């Protein structure tokens, strides 16, 4: 499917609500659980999404509009949440994510990007030349990827509890 802003916005708009429904009233055994010490919990994922709202998507979109390929994007810190989320409850993080996302989508709409803007190019520090459309498509796929990560880490808490049904449930690994 080609990237088209009108099709992407419904997904981006609702991700905070999807994640909120999944997590907000869930016992901490689900939301703080990890598969092993190196993987992320649902709580960690929400912190990561917040960091993306602050430093990744809209700042990079603006960089493309202002500097094109001449100034690469700032590097994204994939583990910033381990410092930034400290002392915050999951409910705090979910509210912060929802608010940042809403602001970012208002700012995105205010840019009134045209179809030709979607072909404007920027410079990713590792991946090289990328387009505005690719950046925004990645925002959507990244949301869906992390929803998938959250349900996977939650499901795996029942890897033993399901007994022989494990054979039918790919998500349990």
* CB nearer to its own copies: pick between 69 and 142: 142
Q: Is 36 in the site for its own copies (CB under 8 A)?
A: no
SS3 for 124? Answer: strand
Distance CA 111, CA 114 (A): 9
- Pick from 109, 10, 101: nearest CA to 54: 101
Q: Is 37 in the site for its own copies (CB under 8 A)?
A: no
- Give the helix/strand (H/E) hosting 11: helix 5-23
Question: How far apart are CB 42 and its own copies at their closest, in Å?
Answer: 11
SS3 for 123? Answer: strand
Q: Which residues pair with 131 in a beta bridge?
A: 121
Cα-Cα-Cα-Cα dihedral of 3, 19, 45, 51, to 10°? Answer: 60
Distance CA 136, CA 35 (A): 30
Question: How far apart are CB 62 and its own copies at their closest, in Å?
Answer: 18
* CB nearer to its own copies: pick between 57 and 93: 57
Q: What b/e string do you get for 43-55 counting C-beta neighbours within 10 Å, with b at 16 or more?
A: bbbbbbbbbbbeb
Residues 6-25 that bind its own copies (CB under 8 A): 6-7, 10-11, 14, 17-18, 21-22, 25
Residues 95-134 that bind its own copies (CB under 8 A): 124, 127-128, 130-131, 133-134
Q: Is 171 in the site for its own copies (CB under 8 A)?
A: yes
Residues 148-167 that bind its own copies (CB under 8 A): 148, 151-152, 154-155, 157-158, 161-165, 167
Question: Judged by CB under 8 A, how many residues of this single chain contact its own copies?
Answer: 51
SS3 for 130? Answer: strand
Task: Provide the binding-site residues for its own copies, judged by CB under 8 A.
Answer: 1-3, 6-7, 10-11, 14, 17-18, 21-22, 25-27, 29-30, 33, 124, 127-128, 130-131, 133-135, 137-138, 140-142, 144-145, 147-148, 151-152, 154-155, 157-158, 161-165, 167, 169-172
């Amino acid at each position: 499917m080609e990237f088209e802003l009108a099709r992407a916005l419904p997904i981006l708009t609702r991700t905070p609500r999807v994640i909120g429904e999944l997590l907000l009233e869930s016992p901490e055994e689900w939301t703080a659980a990890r598969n092993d010490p190196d993987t992320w919990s649902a709580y960690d994922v929400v912190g990561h999404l917040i960091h993306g709202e602050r430093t990744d998507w809209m700042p990079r979109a603006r960089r493309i509009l202002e500097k094109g390929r001449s100034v690469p994007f700032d590097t994204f810190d994939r583990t910033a949440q381990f410092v930034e989320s400290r002392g915050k409850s999951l409910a705090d993080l979910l509210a912060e994510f929802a608010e940042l996302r809403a602001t970012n989508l208002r700012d995105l709409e205010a840019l009134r990007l045209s179809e030709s803007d979607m072909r404007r190019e920027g410079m990713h520090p590792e991946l090289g030349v990328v387009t505005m459309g690719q950046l925004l498509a990645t925002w959507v796929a990244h949301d869906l990827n992390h929803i998938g990560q959250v349900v996977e880490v939650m499901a795996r808490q029942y890897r033993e509890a399901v007994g022989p049904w494990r054979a039918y449930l790919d998500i349990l690994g």
